[in-house]
Amino acid sequence: MPTGRQQNEVISVSLPRDLVKRANAIIPKTRRSRVIAEVLTTFLDSISRKKLEREYMAYYAKRSAREVQEERDLLAEWELSDEEAWAILEKEESRGRRAAR
């Protein structure tokens, strides 16, 4: 969405007639360009996220089995059990701290 003094460029886009009719029926004329801009922005953001996801998948696929196992071992060491988490919360409450929300 444009903020402040961000400039817009006027462009022409051809859309299927049925899509234009549907959009005209439900989107007020004064908001149409903003709605289209938001939908396009959301779509482009999702493409960026998908690209990043593919890059992460490619990175993790290239790692050796040893690296993967080391990471799993490290995560297992850091994992809190339910009992440990409740003990920490009870300890904080007994000291007069409020529980996190």
The 10s digit of each residue's pLDDT in 51-74 is: 999 999 999 899 999 999 999 998
Whether residue 3 has pLDDT greater than 80: no
Higher per-residue confidence, 75 vs 55: 55
Residues 23 and 32 sit within 8 Å (Cβ to Cβ): yes
Tell me, what's the pLDDT at 77?
Answer: 84
Distance CA 72, CA 95 (A): 34
Domain range list for the chain: 10-62, 65-101
State how far the Cα of 89 lies from the Cα of 92, in Å rounded to an integer: 5
Is pTM beyond 0.85? Reply is: no
